[in-house]
Structure 1
Amino acid sequence: MKSTYKYIYILILALTTSCQDPFELTRNDIITEDVVFEDETLANAFLADLYERSLFQLKGGFADNNVNLINSFGGEARNFAPWQGPFGSVIGPVFNEQGAGSLNYWPYELIREANVFIESLSLSTSLNEDFISVRTSEARFLRAWAYFEMVKRYGGVPLVTTALSSNASDEELLVPRNSEKEIYDFIGSEMDEIAVILPSQPTELGRVSRWAALALKSRAMLYAASVANFGNQQLDGLLGFPASEANSYYQRSLDASNEILTSGPFALYNKLPDDKVRNFIDLFVDENGNPEVIFAEHFDATAGKGHNWDRFAHPDGFGYEWNSNFPVYLETLELFDFVDGRSGKIDRTLYDGANLFDPEDYFGNRDPRMRASISYPGMPLRGKLTFYHHSTTFTNPETGLRETSESPTFVIPGSNGWLAKAPSRNVDAGGNPTSLQIRKRMDESLPEPGPGELSSTDYIIFRLGEIYLNYVEAAFYLADPNGDMQARMNELRDRAGMPALSIAEITEDKIRQERRVELAFESQVFWDLRRWRIAVEELDLVMRHRMRFDYDFDAGQYTIQISDGDKGRLRSHPERNYYYALGLSRIADNPNLVENPGY
């Protein structure tokens, strides 16, 4: 999509720079609306700008290092340096009456432009009717997405579906908040209406289809159901839902998910069924007929739209000048159980720096999704090994004595390249590394990079794996109305290489764990913890831990120690943070807005 729109932008420039008498008073550097919405190319360019400005993933920060912000808020991982937003703005601060901090999002300029597009294109007298209906439906999706991003943060917000004139009265401009329920109902009804208009297959990469609309409905209605089920009504109904309505939203989510699962042209990615780890790795980077992707943000570095994920995610020692940027916590590792059914949570008293752990079991026998999602000590990568250990103890073949080395340049004799200590940014860097890092979404097929080289891997917004999880969660609370909750759960686990669960084993806790494992580092866990209303117990003043690995070369095993993972800092998520403050400045600008409780 990006490359197509680049040429549209060039065409717009050409249209706006024609020759003109310098004394002619009529400007020719502005394209008027009556021209834009009567020209297919210009209308597409307008819509392309809306796509580009939509918040499909958080960016910002130096070199867009905020791409890991939501994962950091969710306690899954963080960035290595306190000056980066996903560390400094996440760990420690309590959001106050000033607003939502680094999570702030109030995109009414984008919503106004979407409203302009929807209204104006609908009045076109020369464009094809199908073109008009499909393109306006795409804009309605983007508008609904903007409201979804706001309702997750603030609850009810002003619902504006017309393009307000600059000459509008204060009464028209100072719009009060709609209820949280009204926003979710709007999203659901919009997706119902546009799903029957949008094509099954998008005309270009990065455009939404009917399945993307159903996927948004599946996710948004599940969020609404959770708020009704686990939250409380506040501000005279402005926030929250009646608990009695939870099942109706679970049902709407279930129905949308079921339509995708039974009628959609998708399948769980399973091109390498005999290699569960590589299969799950490839799911996020394979753009050659990937059957699991429902909707993705398209990237093309050659067309001017690239990203730095691979630079950030690659461990030190693989050619990227900026690397090892996403440390993962012990608590995240513990979510991944073992393939033989053992819990992923090891008795922490064993992490005493003396007990030996066999990496073939400790890492190799865990849920394959762990090895596909997390970089770990001894991990094979690009024909080499990835090192995260602080020292190596070995028997010196010359003296026969046991020795310990902490030199990152010393190679253990007879080891075929085993470094006594990992490269600096994997284990040092001011004490910030956790000795685990995010691996998911890392494209290991890229050539050795040059300085500042950007990547083009698409960012998956909706995929079938999530729809399975949405379906199972909704089915659980509805008492499995279609009788296939267990089958759906086990289809997903079988793809991952994990043993099937009995119906009795599919509990609320197990469903949540499965979701946190399958969707790890996909910027969803944080929002899940909030909608389940367990973010306070999971995140508020709860310490996360880092790991220290030391290698015994003779035994081929590691000793492990754990310590505070954030240099003495703690996250905060008090009860009031389930709804962030609109902020004093917005209240001052619009006195009809009511602030959220606790601010």
Structure 2
Amino acid sequence: MMKNLLKMKKFIKYILLGVFIMIASCSKDFLTVDPVDSIVADNYYKNKDEIRSSTAILYGGTAWFDYLAGLMFYAGDMASGDMYYTYDQEGQFFYFSFNSGNAHLTSGWKSLFRVNSYCNSVINDMPDAARKNGVSEDVINAALGEARFVRAWVYFLLTEYWGEVPIVENGSDLIASGDMMLPKNTRKSLYEFIRRDLAFAEENLPGKDEEAGRATKWAAKGLMAKLYLTMASDLTDSQSAEYFDLAKKYAQEVIDNSDGFQMIDSYKELFTIEGNNNSESLFALQMIGAGGYGLGNPRNTAWSRSSVIADQTWGGGKGPTLNFQSAFEPNDGRRKWIIMQKGDYYPELDKADGGYTYNIRTANPDDPNSPIENANQVLSHIKKYVIGKAADVNNQVGTDQDAGNNLYLMRLSEMYLIYCEAAIGSGNETSDATALEYINTVRERAGLADRVAPLTFAEVMHERRIEFGMESIRWFDIKRMYYRNAQAATEFLNAQDRENYYYAIPTSDENLMNSYAGYEIATPEVPMVIYSDQIKAFPIPSEAVVSDPMLAGEAVDYNFE
């Protein structure tokens, strides 16, 4: 597996130049790219290896980087109330005060449409050229399956953030027409567009690829389960019950897969380099450690507390909200691998000094050159995806936000919890024996007691919040809650008191300052975070609307020809 993984990551790294020449440098608009010149395409798609190298970039950080390094966790973890961070435009997601001019909203939008452009280039430019070169239909359709799967994922993200966005299938046609203005399309059209792409991917992707990390039919089925669960959550839809059943069906098929996908025993291992492309990973972005800017996982830099832990670090002010910290049940085995709290010991970090023990603050007044770690406002920092210095991981971490641990978009454990949520359906609880078995499978790995019937919607949402804590998918849970009951979801968010923080009691006692007893919780008299209708849809970036004024108009149904 390691040999195939390295082969794929080499494809991702070395194909970048060619892809940028053909695609990125020719971009005239955030929605489209120039068509690949037919002569270039004919000379490029000559065999299976060249075709697979063209799809390899779809899994790499470069195409996704501006999204995964910003909006992905600003929306997924901060806007949802799990991560505390108040600085500048990032902090606007914490306060839910961002508007259409927010730079991170704009870069996330551009990044996702950039990935869509890469997908469209493969979908539109590859097949004819490959056929001219005698490539088999099986190879062509498998590559199309990869591109359509990734495009489906991109559009799932776009519609869950912005609600209504334009469907762009073919930049060549737009450029040829000379009309680059596109209207938004309805959510109904977007969901159907996603469903069609996934149906094609499911039929044409293998159950297990020869190169670890590539999309499989099980990944396509997994996103199909998530899509139907999302569609079903609009309880006013006459097909809601049917969609819940389909979500259960697809989740069950993935759980019962015959290609070796299964939950692994160690929650900790999931987020390490050694855990890349493990049997629980259904879809993850393939990160290249120390490969340079845009090629690796930026979380190690963005979330590490200090230079004691990482060679490059911006995470001192970030941490879990007090509300998120209080959500953990006692003795939850996942907690230590999601967030750091006083006394936690991590032998894999700062190995040169015998490992790292988390303290609220670390100071050595007798040595002015000693590293100092100060408390943040929540007295806790993030552990998930934080893997240490280059020396800790065999030089698989660089200083350009480029750690080598993959970044998940979907794990198998999510299928277990999708089944549970779908089994509850439009109600508030279920006694479905399989649903109870599945949630307890997830809880058993965490060392927690079994749930007993009836299993409630709130319990499933709680389990998802913890199991996928700091994996940046919490916002999509909030959206499904909103589709079910907008008022209840808004009240839930506003009741989080996420703006609560700790302040230090004046003292010169270092021991007291390094214990929770030395701090008290501050609660603003007037709540600073008040949720609004932006839960339904984020504002489309003003830069995009200036480029395409039709985005300010009403959404229209897409014409599926």
- After TM superposition, the score normalised by the length of structure 2 is 0.77
TM-aligned CA distance change 1:292 to 1:546, over 3 Å: same
Structure 2 matches for 1:431-450, cutoff 5 A?
432-443=376-387, 447-448=391-392
Unaligned runs of 5+ in 2: 1-7, 23-36, 348-353, 483-487, 556-561
Structure 2 matches for 1:111-130, cutoff 5 A?
111-123=116-128, 124-125=131-132, 126-130=134-138
The size of the alignment, in residue pairs, is: 499
CA contact (8 A) 1:222 1:470 kept: yes
CA contact (8 A) 1:472 1:511 kept: yes
Aligned to 2:558: none
Aligned to 1:239: none
Select 1:77's aligned residue among 65, 73, 83. Answer: 83
**Aligned partner of residue 464 in structure 2, secondary structure:** helix
TM-aligned CA distance change 1:8 to 1:135, over 3 Å: same
Aligned to 1:559: 517
Select 1:179's aligned residue among 181, 186, 189. Answer: 186
Task: Give the distance between the partners of 2:492 and 2:549, measured in 1 at CA.
Answer: 35
TM-aligned CA distance change 1:71 to 1:92, over 3 Å: closer
**Aligned partner of residue 256 in structure 2, secondary structure:** helix
Q: Does 1:467 align with 2:467?
A: no
Cα shift readout 1:240-290 (whole Å, capped 9, x = no counterpart): xx43222222222211110011124222211xxxxxxxx322222132772
1:378 is displaced (CA, Å) by 1.2
Task: Give the distance between the partners of 1:529 and 1:197, measured in 2 at CA.
Answer: 32
Cα shift readout 1:58-115 (whole Å, capped 9, x = no counterpart): 3446xxx975653122221134x724x5325543624258898357515445434433
Q: Does 1:306 align with 2:296?
A: yes
Q: Does 1:488 align with 2:476?
A: no
Alpha-carbon RMSD across the aligned residues, in angstroms, is 3.9
Task: Please state which structure has a larger fraction of its residues in helix.
Answer: 2
Which amino acid letter does the alignment assign opposite residue 337 of structure 1? E
Q: Does 1:282 align with 2:269?
A: yes
Cα shift readout 1:361-400 (whole Å, capped 9, x = no counterpart): xxxxx3222122110011112245634346xxxxxxxxxx
CA contact (8 A) 2:145 2:205 kept: yes
Which amino acid letter does the alignment assign opposite residue 461 of structure 1? L
CA contact (8 A) 2:183 2:554 kept: no
Select 1:375's aligned residue among 334, 340, 356. Answer: 340
Task: Give the distance between the partners of 1:289 and 1:144, measured in 2 at CA.
Answer: 21
**Aligned partner of residue 294 in structure 1, secondary structure:** strand
CA contact (8 A) 1:468 1:489 kept: yes
Structure 2 matches for 1:20-99, cutoff 5 A?
32-52=40-60, 54-55=63-64, 58-60=67-69, 70-79=76-85, 82-83=87-88, 85-88=89-92, 90-91=94-95, 93-95=97-99
Task: Give the distance between the partners of 1:302 and 1:444, measured in 2 at CA.
Answer: 13
Structure 2 matches for 1:543-558, cutoff 5 A?
543-547=498-502, 558=516
1:319 is displaced (CA, Å) by 4.7
TM-aligned CA distance change 1:435 to 1:110, over 3 Å: closer
Which amino acid letter does the alignment assign opposite residue 32 of structure 1? V
1:140 is displaced (CA, Å) by 0.7
TM-aligned CA distance change 1:225 to 1:116, over 3 Å: same
1:213 is displaced (CA, Å) by 0.8
1:300 is displaced (CA, Å) by 2.0
**Aligned partner of residue 77 in structure 2, secondary structure:** helix
Structure 2 matches for 1:309-328, cutoff 5 A?
309-316=299-306, 318-323=308-313, 324-325=315-316, 326-328=318-320
Aligned to 2:31: none
1:136 is displaced (CA, Å) by 0.8
Structure 2 matches for 1:90-489, cutoff 5 A?
90-91=94-95, 93-95=97-99, 101=105, 104-105=108-109, 107-108=112-113, 110-123=115-128, 124-125=131-132, 126-166=134-174, 168-169=176-177, 173-226=180-233, 228-229=234-235, 242-264=236-258, 265-270=260-265, 279-285=266-272, 286-287=274-275, 290-304=278-292, 305-316=295-306, 318-323=308-313, 324-325=315-316, 326-338=318-330, 366-382=331-347, 383-384=354-355, 386-389=357-360, 408-409=363-364, 424-427=372-375, 432-443=376-387, 447-448=391-392, 452=399, 454-477=402-425, 483-489=433-439
Task: Give the distance between the partners of 2:277 and 2:541, measured in 1 at CA.
Answer: 45
Q: Structure 1 residues 259-268 or 479-488, which shifts more?
A: 479-488
Q: Which has the larger radius of gyration?
A: 1
Select 2:491's aligned residue among 508, 522, 537. Answer: 537
Unaligned runs of 5+ in 1: 16-28, 230-241, 271-278, 339-365, 391-406, 412-418
TM-aligned CA distance change 1:280 to 1:568, over 3 Å: farther
Q: Structure 1 residues 556-565 or 33-42, which shifts more?
A: 556-565
Which amino acid letter does the alignment assign opposite residue 299 of structure 2? W
Q: Does 1:510 align with 2:459?
A: yes
**Aligned partner of residue 468 in structure 1, secondary structure:** helix
**Aligned partner of residue 238 in structure 2, secondary structure:** helix
- After TM superposition, the score normalised by the length of structure 1 is 0.72
TM-aligned CA distance change 1:322 to 1:209, over 3 Å: same
Task: Give the distance between the partners of 1:488 and 1:335, measured in 2 at CA.
Answer: 21
Task: Give the distance between the partners of 1:66 and 1:143, measured in 2 at CA.
Answer: 17
